[in-house]
Amino acid sequence: MKKLLVTGSSGLIGSEVVRYFDKMGWEILGIDNNMRADFFGPKGDTRWAQSRLDAECQNFRHVELDIRNRQDVLDLFEKERPDYICHTAAQPSHDLAASRPFDDFDVNAVGTLNLLEAARRFCAESPFAHMSTNKVYGDRPNTLNLSENDDRYDFADAKYFDGITEEFPIDQSKHSLFGASKVAADIMVQEYGRYFNMPTCALRGGCLTGPNHSGVELHGFLSYLIKVNLVEDEYTIFGYKGKQVRDNIHSYDVARFIHHFFETPRVGEVYNIGGGRDNSTSILEAFKRIEGISGKAMRYKYSETNRIGDHICYISDLSKMKAHYPGWDITKNLQTVFEEIAESWEKRLVKA
Neighbours of 157 (CB within 10 A): 10
Give one DSSP letter per residue of 206-274, joined into a string: SEEE-TT---BTTB-HHHHHHHHHHTT-EEEEESGGG--EEEEEEHHHHHHHHHHHHHS--SSEEEEES
The tally of domains found in the chain comes to 1
3-state secondary structure at position 247? strand
pLDDT digits (tens, 9 = 90+) for 54-81: 999 999 999 999 999 999 999 999 999 9
What range does the domain containing 92 cover?
Answer: 3-351
Q: CA 333: distance to chain centroid?
A: 17
What's the pLDDT score for residue 218? 64
Residues of the chain with pLDDT under 70: 218-219, 351-352
Contact 268, 191 (CB under 8 A): yes
What's the pLDDT score for residue 352? 58
Spatial separation of the C-alpha atoms in residues 5 and 264, rounded to whole Å: 18
CATH of the domain at 220: 3.40.50.720
Contact 95, 218 (CB under 8 A): yes
Could you tell me the pTM of the whole model? Answer: 0.95
Spatial separation of the C-alpha atoms in residues 257 and 269, rounded to whole Å: 13
Angle at alpha carbon of residue 20, lines to 14 and 22, rounded to 5°: 100
The amino acid at residue 123 is C
What's the pLDDT score for residue 350? 75
Contact 334, 269 (CB under 8 A): no
